[in-house]
Amino acid sequence: MAWTTIGYHAFEQRCFDELSSQDCAGNYHIDISPMRWSASPLSAISYTRKETARKLGATLTDSHEATPVKGKGLKARGGKLDVALESPNYVIWRLQTQENVAEQVVKGIIKPLHEHKGFDMHRPFQPFVPLDLPGKWKVDLVSASIQPSFPVPHSLTFGSTEKDLPCTYYLAMPPECLPLKELLHVKRALPLLKLLLQNERDEDMKVLLQNCCNLTGDYIGVPLVASHITAMTLGFFAYKPLQSVGGQESDCLHLLRFSTKDLLDTLPPHSSPLCSFWLINPIGLTRMIENQEVGLLVNTFKMKVSLTAKYKTQMDLVEHHEKMRLQGRKRRLEDDVARLEAELCERKAEVEQVAKKLCPLPEPIAEPGSSELACAPAA
């Protein structure tokens, strides 16, 4: 019977390397809850990023409000979150079986997720311990990276065509070819605004973002950021593009790049747990583009997972780590032997010194005729 893929799980490469080093040194211990196996590599990485954000007190879904983490300030969390969101390197685990999948569901070994998005496993999965499931199951792994790709070489341009302008802002949007005024309409950025609102802590900014979502209030803006990676990553989670066949790349989105000689807003950006951003009024922004004060470049992009090696089995990894532990033990034993040999040499030298001190002193040798002279009577 052919192998059926149950799902995928992703470890951030940096985290995996740290755990792997601990296991090779014999110091590995991790308490892993029952693991989710997503339907594709891209879904697995997305789930891992969402879980990382959740643990840091943020959320990457507009259906759950972020839960603050006690004892951690926004600034500290934001730095870690930036790393988690923009980290491109992952280890992808793939769970496969030759068993009847329906029967495994009946037995409770796996539990299907809603809308065929993968499975939850009833028991924890230990990456460095052989999989212990009845029947024919296997797990393999591969290194992978997730990066935005630009499948279409050309792009749309509006406004100024001047190059190398010092100020650049970015915004991800759904891929629609529209007139400029409709392209920048706030309603097209509603999913992104809702995502920022779910993570917001500042009450005044909450009101402002809510007004933007409701298209009401004195000021309505679209959120611009200074990093294209941040813009594309947030756009991916906000707009939830569908995935292609194979689950290694998403459908397309648009990346809007605004270039200008001067700052669009002289005030500092608002610091959100997700990122720092400016709320810029699209009407004024459109006017500046039409007046050639701002250049707008629209590129099509998609998020793509690329495998950087071939899959290898979990047993290969387990055996490699066992070999590394044995080599480590061998080195430690060799160090112990060398230390003991050096200590033995020192002790032997001490024994020789003590033995010399214990030996009786040799008697002096008398000179010839000295005894007769000593005994002769005086004249």
Residues 52 and 169 in one domain: no
Within 8 A by CB and 6+ apart from 279, the residues are 208, 209, 212, 219, 221, 222, 223, 270
Question: Per-residue pLDDT averaged across 60-65, rounded?
Answer: 70
Inside any domain, residue 352: no
Residues 162 and 258 in one domain: yes
Inside any domain, residue 362: no
Q: How confident is the model at residue 87 (pLDDT cuts 50, 70, 90)?
A: confident
pLDDT of residue 63: 65
Residue percentage of the chain with pLDDT more than 90? 46
Residue 229 has pLDDT above 50, yes or no: yes
d(CA 336, CA 44): 45
Each residue's pLDDT tens digit, 307-361 = 888 999 988 988 988 898 899 889 999 999 999 999 999 999 999 899 888 887 6
Each residue's pLDDT tens digit, 360-378 = 766 666 666 655 555 555 5
Nearest to 199 by CA among 302, 141, 272, 120: 272
Residues 192 and 70 in one domain: no
Nearest to 173 by CA among 193, 185, 196, 189: 189
pLDDT of residue 71: 45
pLDDT of residue 61: 78
β strands within 102-231, DSSP E: 110-112, 118-121, 137-149, 156-159, 167-173, 222-224
Within 8 A by CB and 6+ apart from 36, the residues are 7, 9, 47, 113, 118, 119, 120, 121
pLDDT of residue 72: 46
Residues 44 and 177 in one domain: no
Residues 297 and 267 in one domain: yes
Residues 160 and 145 in one domain: no
Domain count, the chain: 2
Residues 15 and 94 in one domain: yes
Contact between 92 and 8 under an 8 Å Cβ cutoff? The reply is yes
pLDDT of residue 76: 41
Helices (H), the chain: 13-24, 41-55, 74-86, 101-106, 180-183, 190-199, 203-214, 228-239, 282-290, 314-358, 370-375
Question: Per-residue pLDDT averaged across 264-288, rounded?
Answer: 91
Domain termination site, one of 260, 286, 314: 314
Inside any domain, residue 288: yes
Domain termination site, one of 303, 328, 363: 303
Each residue's pLDDT tens digit, 10-46 = 999 988 898 888 888 887 666 566 578 998 999 999 9
Integer-rounded Cα Rg, in Å, for the chain is 35
Contact between 302 and 151 under an 8 Å Cβ cutoff? The reply is yes
* Amino acid identity at 219: Y
Higher pLDDT residue, 209 or 217? 209
Each residue's pLDDT tens digit, 108-156 = 889 998 876 889 888 778 888 888 887 799 999 999 999 888 887 778 8
Q: Write down the mean pLDDT value for the chain.
A: 85
Query: With left for phi above 0 and alpha for psi between -120 and 50, is residue 135 left, alpha or beta?
Result: left
Give the domain range for residue 225.
Answer: 156-303
Buried b (16+ CB within 10 A) or exposed e, 50-87: bebbbebbbbbbbeeebeebeeeebeebbebbbebbeb
Cα-based angle 236, 237, 241 (whole degrees, multiple of 5): 50
Residues 40 and 178 in one domain: no
Domain termination site, one of 272, 303, 334: 303
Residues 139 and 48 in one domain: yes
Q: How confident is the model at residue 59 (pLDDT cuts 50, 70, 90)?
A: confident
Residue 81 has pLDDT above 50, yes or no: yes
Each residue's pLDDT tens digit, 158-191 = 998 888 889 999 999 998 888 888 999 999 999 9
